[in-house]
A and B are shown apart, each in its own frame.
Chain A
Amino acid sequence: MKIGILCSKIRVEEKLLFQEFSKLNQEIVQINPNDLSLNGSKADFGKIDLLLNREIAQTRAELILEFAEKFGIKTINSAASTKLCNNKALTTNVLVKASISVPRTAIVFSVEEAMKIGQKLGYPLVVKPIWGSWGRLLSKVESQETLETILEHKQALNSPQNSIFYLQEYIEKPDRDIRVFVVGGKPIAAMYRVSKHWLTNTAKGAIPKGMKLNKELNALVEKTVQALGVEIAGVDIVESKKGYLVLEVNATPEFRGLKEVTNVNIAKLIVEYVLKGKKYVKN
């Protein structure tokens, strides 16, 4: 059995995964999108049976996963679940439908409608891009006037993506949020991401702090990843006055921060799960 790892950048996480595969003498091949030429043949992927997605560029990763699946190559995560997680609007839609608690959210397509939603959600509120990660381009908006200005600036960027507005109520929280790491649909480790800044992404400087999973978190996370169909994921959760709320789900999660505050060998668990899953046959 041959396993491909889709990635153009070798980050700490990919290095650890390569090392764990190597310890088990498992043959792996790096599938670098920069070297791929998809001509509609299974041979494009070099005879692999399973493709583990670790690609940093989400748009091309989605497309490559779809191509791979067409040739019967098992993908982790699947193209469909990756697409759901990469698009915050779709993620929210799936989670709401599955009765999973999320902050009140609206996706709108015009500034005029956004202004009405702003009044309904109240201020402050948060404007997020539909795509993207690491807490980039998020705005905490304090007033109707500021919302109008920010949305006008987004529209002036003249890209279709930036003209879809994802508006979300601002959640008062402790100076932290929670990242739960999932392998095989099950939570395996978690951390607080602590920051005085309202954005608590580690990419924005939040400090990882170890925490123990509990029954309530486990149940929420399992339900969340099941709804989205992701096998390996990072689920971001905020502690609100009303309880846990799911913010977003990452389908190719980094774990360098979590690795520092947990005894769980995340890379090893991913590798063991991937090896178990290699005989999986998609219906």
Chain B
Amino acid sequence: MSDQKKEAKCLECQAEIILEPDLQAGEVITCPECSTDLEVKQVNPLKFSLAPAVQEDWGQ
């Protein structure tokens, strides 16, 4: 696994987002500029989608 930080662009506002090197598919990251939640679909190559809204039965 590379220990280099990765860069990506927010799907909503195109702001540059710096990502930790240990990023995993399934993580949800928040754009620091527009606060949109993005779900990591794939790490290599990086692919994102807008994270789904919280569902009624989500919880701990």
The answer to whether A and B belong to the same complex is: yes
* A132/B56 in contact, CB under 8 A: yes
* B57/A9 in contact, CB under 8 A: no
* B26/A57 in contact, CB under 8 A: no
> Residue A228 at the B interface, CB < 8 A?
no
Identify which of A10, A86, A133, A252 contacts B25 (C-beta below 8 A). A10
* A15/B24 in contact, CB under 8 A: yes
Identify which of A30, A58, A254 contacts B26 (C-beta below 8 A). A30
* A133/B60 in contact, CB under 8 A: yes
Per the bound structure, the CA–CA distance linking A9 and B58 in Å amounts to 11
Cβ of A88 to closest chain B Cβ, rounded Å: 11
Per the bound structure, the CA–CA distance linking A103 and B3 in Å amounts to 51
Interface magnitude class on chain B: 10 to 19
> Residue B55 at the A interface, CB < 8 A?
yes
* B27/A134 in contact, CB under 8 A: no
Residues of chain A within 8 A of B59, CB atoms compared = 56, 58, 86, 132-134, 250, 252
> Residue B28 at the A interface, CB < 8 A?
yes
> Residue B16 at the A interface, CB < 8 A?
no
Chain A residues within 8 Å of B, Cβ to Cβ: 7-11, 14-15, 18, 30, 32, 56-59, 86, 131-134, 161, 234, 250, 252-254
Cβ of A10 to closest chain B Cβ, rounded Å: 4
Some 26 contacts from A to B, beta carbons below 8 A apart, are: A9-B26, A9-B27, A9-B39, A10-B26, A10-B27, A10-B28, A10-B40, A11-B27, A15-B22, A32-B26, A56-B60, A57-B55, A57-B58, A58-B58, A58-B59, A131-B57, A132-B56, A132-B57, A132-B59, A133-B58, A133-B59, A134-B58, A134-B59, A134-B60, A161-B56, A252-B60
Which residues 30-60 in B have Cβ within 8 Å of A in the complex? 39-40, 55-60
Q: Which of B24, B28, B58, B60 has the most CB of A within 10 A?
A: B60
Residues of chain A within 8 A of B26, CB atoms compared = 7-10, 14, 30, 32
Residues of chain B within 8 A of A161, CB atoms compared = 56
Cβ of B38 to closest chain A Cβ, rounded Å: 12
Per the bound structure, the CA–CA distance linking A252 and B27 in Å amounts to 17
